[in-house]
């Protein structure tokens, strides 16, 4: 099995565990913003230390970078903050597995953005796969108190958060791949580590300032919840390092395609850890979206 495939599966597993912890904290101790900040603040020190240690062990100096590095890093970092925030907020609307699946529409959205922005052609079979994914979203997006007309369900808050988070994750993946490729090194782990260190430090500082302005007290509560929050940082660091390294070896779309195993991981987490029940309708929607995502990537 190729290295980038193993890294993609590992990243999906770490990410599932991290979202489980963020859901737990966002249900009581922290707001969606505070739980999002914990993911970056408790990752940054570990990433920086590990990168410096790696440089020391390799006896290497800090490599240079292409001019576009900072632009890619900022776009990727801001997009990831927004995406993570949307996912944590989504957990208050739907159960864990459904929330993760709505987020995974990021791959379908990547195909659509490619058509609109880059003019990438999609075959009739490819469009059929995209429509299959839309059907899955309609099945999943039914929420209490909303009439059963499909388009009304599509406009629900839960569906909107899932779709927006997927869009932001798609943009962040492209930004991160651009940043890692802009580092002047042939070592994929070094490129990933340096890019991740820069991004997480920027994210920690930027989001901390934002929360101090918009949600006073959340930074302090995030620090007070360190016993749980530190695990968000560790799993977030491990997952991001796997994603970043995979992005240096293969294009982001293929990496995300393999990362769809996160849907399966989230099903186990939803049932085993949160005691949530997956209805037949929800399971059908998850299956439809997962099939759609795999088909879109196979037909591109």
Please provide the size of the chain in residues.
300
**Can you tell me the distance from the alpha carbon of 281 to that of 128, in angstroms, rounded to the nearest whole number?**
21
Supply the range of the domain harboring residue 47.
3-299
Per-residue pLDDT of 199-215, as tens digits, reads: 999 999 999 999 999 88
Q: What is the pLDDT of residue 174?
A: 81
Query: Token pair for residue 219?
Result: 């930074």
Write the burial class of residue 277 (CB in 10 Å: 0-12 exposed, 13-18 middle, 19+ buried): exposed
- Burial pattern 91-119, b for ≥16 Cβ within 10 A else e, equals bebbbbbbbbbbbbbbbbbbbbebeeeee
3-state secondary structure of 119: coil
Per-residue pLDDT of 72-122, as tens digits, reads: 899 989 998 898 888 777 776 666 566 666 776 777 776 676 566 545 555
Residue position matching structure tokens 């850890």: 273
Instruction: Indicate the number of domains in the chain.
Output: 1
Q: What is the pTM of this model?
A: 0.77
Q: Which residues of the chain have pLDDT under 70?
A: 1, 24-29, 92-101, 104, 110-111, 113-123, 126-127, 129-130, 133-134, 137-138, 140-156, 274, 276, 293, 296-300
């Amino acid at each position: 099995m190729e290295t980038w495939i193993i890294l993609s599966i590992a990243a999906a597993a770490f990410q599932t565990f991290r979202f489980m912890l963020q859901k737990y904290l966002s249900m009581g101790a922290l707001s969606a913003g505070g739980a999002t900040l914990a993911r970056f603040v408790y990752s940054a020190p570990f990433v920086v230390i590990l990168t410096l240690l790696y440089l020391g062990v390799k006896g290497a100096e800090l490599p240079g970078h292409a001019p576009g590095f900072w632009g890619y890093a900022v776009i990727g970092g801001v997009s990831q903050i927004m995406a993570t925030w949307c996912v944590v907020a989504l957990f208050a609307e739907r159960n864990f597995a459904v929330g993760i699946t709505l987020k995974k529409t990021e791959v379908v959205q990547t195909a659509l953005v490619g058509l609109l922005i880059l003019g990438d052609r999609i075959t009739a079979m490819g469009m059929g796969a995209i429509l299959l994914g839309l059907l899955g979203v309609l099945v999943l997006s039914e929420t209490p108190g909303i009439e059963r007309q499909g388009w009304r369900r599509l406009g629900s808050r839960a569906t909107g958060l899932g779709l927006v988070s997927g869009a932001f994750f798609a943009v962040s993946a492209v930004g991160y791949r651009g940043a890692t490729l802009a580092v002047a090194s042939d070592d994929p782990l070094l490129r990933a580590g340096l890019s991740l260190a820069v991004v997480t430090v920027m994210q920690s500082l930027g989001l901390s300032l934002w929360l101090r302005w918009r949600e006073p007290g959340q930074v302090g509560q995030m620090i007070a919840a360190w016993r749980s929050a530190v695990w968000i940082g560790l799993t977030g660091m491990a997952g991001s390092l796997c994603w970043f390294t995979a992005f240096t070896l293969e294009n982001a779309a293929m990496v995300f395609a393999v990362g769809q195993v996160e849907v399966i991981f989230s099903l186990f987490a939803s049932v085993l850890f949160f005691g949530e029940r997956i209805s037949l309708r929800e399971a059908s929607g998850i299956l439809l979206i997962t099939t759609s995502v795999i088909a879109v990537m196979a037909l591109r």
